[in-house]
A and B are shown apart, each in its own frame.
Chain A
Amino acid sequence: MRTILYILQKEFIQVFRNKTMLPIIFILPLVQLIILVYAASLELKDIKMEVVDFDNSSISREIISGFQASPFYTITDFKHSVDEAEKSIIDNTADVVMVIPAGIEKDLLNGMSPGVQFQIDAINGMTAGLINSYSSQILMGINTKLSARLMRFSDQVPQMKQIEISRRFWYNAGLNYKHYMVPGILVILVTVIGMFLTALNIVREKEMGTIEQINVTPIKKYQFMMGKLIPFLIIGLFELALGLTFGWIVFDLPFRGSLLVLFAFAFLYLILVLGFGLLLSTISNTQQQVMFMSFFFLLVFILMSGLFTPIETMPHWAQQVNIINPFAYFMKVNRMVLLKGSGFADLTKEFLYIGIYATVVLSFAVKYYRKTV
């Protein structure tokens, strides 16, 4: 135990003496949190729309003003032909073109169902989908208003009443995208910093040659590993606390669940991730090798973790891959605890799994760390 304390003392001195490490640990994550959370928004603002109105009636104007009233749309131009408007899409000056056909008012008054056409720039399929659904929503609103009015004027009995949809969004009533992103990005920051720091640390000792000196001492493998793990575990937990405080102050992050549960999970999770870092460092000899290897794993794990795209929409094989993706678990737990208020009982499966996973990875790291060559 005393041996471990001496290693800890040395590691902490080294971390805090390193003038480039300190900002990386304490300032970089906060900057990243701000940038990523604001940047990784799925809300669309300022959709550029061009209108081709062949009808020029009071109803067509009503439709147009419906879009003008929406905070998401800017009507940039009115064109006289569809070709002209399509050219704007080609030239990238419009995201969507709305074509209102001639006779739409007449048809409506005659009880027919005329159509409005949207032409959407779908280079980014996700954006196109959003524009489509926003536009349909706005049009639906106009529809309801119009049909109410038409009923009054028309002597015909309307054929069908529309079904009204009322919604309640659970756990994130305001659909605040930031509340969804902050816990996810926090997971990434904590993991990346922890994994890189541990992995680089041992490899640096290899490069410097000090590891050889350590290896001729009677230090035990587990003592050495603990000495390397504990400092970064503490830094990782501190990092999480820092990020949560920041999220609370800046993004008004709700804390519905117990922080104790969250930190208990983070503790297990960090042992797993740092164990991964240790494992990578035992099989690499240079900082370059270990950087590339960690980078590979991190990139795959991050993109598959459900940060941007829900795991539920991934193909079956990808969901299977996520069984070994540590990010996916912490991301889920972090969101569930913070946004939904889940407690230990709801997360036993995750706790158990990460616990076993951490034990396995750490044992491999200790096993592969060899004191002899």
Chain B
Amino acid sequence: MKEQDDKQIIIHVDNLVKKFGDFEANKDLCFDVYKGEIFGFLGANGAGKTTAIKILSGLSSPTSGIVEVAGFDVYKNADDIKRNIGYMSQKFSLYEDLTVKENIRFYGGIYGMRAKLIKERTHELLSRLEMTDYADKLIAEIPLGWKQKLAFSVAVLHRPKIVFLDEPTGGVDPITRRQFWDLIYEAVEDGITVFVTTHYMDEAEYCHRVSIMVDGRIAALDTPDGLKQQYGAGSMNDVFLKLARA
């Protein structure tokens, strides 16, 4: 990693609070994400990861605080943000009753891509995933791991500045997860910033920087190596356990 100072901030969050009634799901979050990095957002179930990612991607409004994504204010320019981000959730999001190709065409279309460009990218994407033979198969007919990889590729089809991944590898075997991360690295090479939530600690090692959420707060934020050093732990798993139990 280079020095953070000469990095360009692409997500800026300051004092973000999200309340559901009396319950504070996000308490005073402050962090920046830099252009081109893989930012890991870790935490136990219910720590507030999904709430935060929904606010950043414009699915939910913050109660208070400053949130800027891709240079746009989340309160005022939600539509500009949406044009510049991709999103893939733990809940599977392609249409089961459409074919692989139809799904790609639909999502490309609603992001305003030209028909010719959609065709080119579809071809490119399918050959990269080695799924050319499955182009006309219904999503319902292909295995889960493939669906996840496809869903990711569709989420970055329009070449967004940032892609938000909410537990993208849930329920997927280790080999497919490894392949999934290969796709993430390829996206980063294309200049896309990746914001990913996960509770697989081995995946945390793949991130450039990691924040760990405990009970709605950010308890730690650093590179995986920095965190291990700071907490005197051998792996991210140990770091996580130390923090979560504290």
Residues of A participating in the B interface, judged by any CB pair closer than 8 Å: 2-3, 5-7, 9-10, 13-14, 17-18, 208-210, 212-220, 371-373
Residue in contact with B58 in the complex, picked from A6, A7, A18, A216, CB distance below 8 Å: A216
Describe A's contact surface by its main secondary structure. helix
Contacts of A219 in B (CB 8 A): 110
Asked if B54 and A10 sit within 8 Å, CB to CB, the answer is no
Give min CB distance, B69 to chain A, whole Å.
11
In the complex, are the beta carbons of B106 and A6 less than 8 A apart? yes
Which listed residue (A13, A18, A218) contacts B102, Cβ 8 A? A13
**B57, A216: Cβ atoms under 8 Å?**
yes
Instruction: Tell me which of B32-40, B85-93, B234-242 binds A.
Output: B85-93
B99, chain A: closest CB distance, angstroms? 9
The listed residue (B54, B78, B86, B98) touching A14 by CB distance below 8 A is: B98
Interface centre among B57, B79, B98, B110 (most CB of A within 10 A): B110
- Give the contacting residue for B79; candidates A13, A214, A218; CB below 8 A: A218
Query: Would you list which residues of chain B between 41 and 55 have a CB under 8 Å from chain A?
Result: 54
Residue B60 at the chain A interface, CB threshold 8 Å: yes
How distant is the Cα of A46 from the Cα of B60 in the complex, in angstroms? 67
Question: What's the nearest-Cβ distance from chain B to residue A222, in Å?
Answer: 13
Judge whether B83 is part of the interface by a CB distance below 8 angstroms: yes
Q: Would A213 and B97 be within 8 Å (CB), given that A3-B109, A6-B109, A218-B79 are in contact?
A: no
B105 part of interface (Cβ distance < 8 Å) = yes
Nearest CB to that of B109 among chain A residues?
A: A6
CB distance from A210 to the nearest CB of B (A): 6
| Interface assignment of B149: CB less than 8 Å from any CB of chain A | no
Judge whether B59 and A10 touch: CB under 8 Å: no
Are the C-beta atoms of B93 and A210 separated by less than 8 Å? yes
A3 touches B110 (CB 8 A): yes
In the bound complex, residues from chain B placing their C-beta under 8 Å from that of A212 are 59, 89, 91, 93
Residues of chain B with a CB closer than 8 A to A6's CB: 105-106, 109-110
Given contacts A14-B97, A18-B97, A212-B89, contact A372 B61 (CB under 8 A): yes
- Tell me the complex Cα distance, A213–B57, Å: 11
Bound: A3/B115 CA distance, A:
12
- Chain A nearest CB: distance from B84 CB in Å? 9
Contact between B111 and A218, CB atoms less than 8 A apart: yes
Say yes or no: is B96 at the interface (Cβ < 8 Å to chain A).
yes
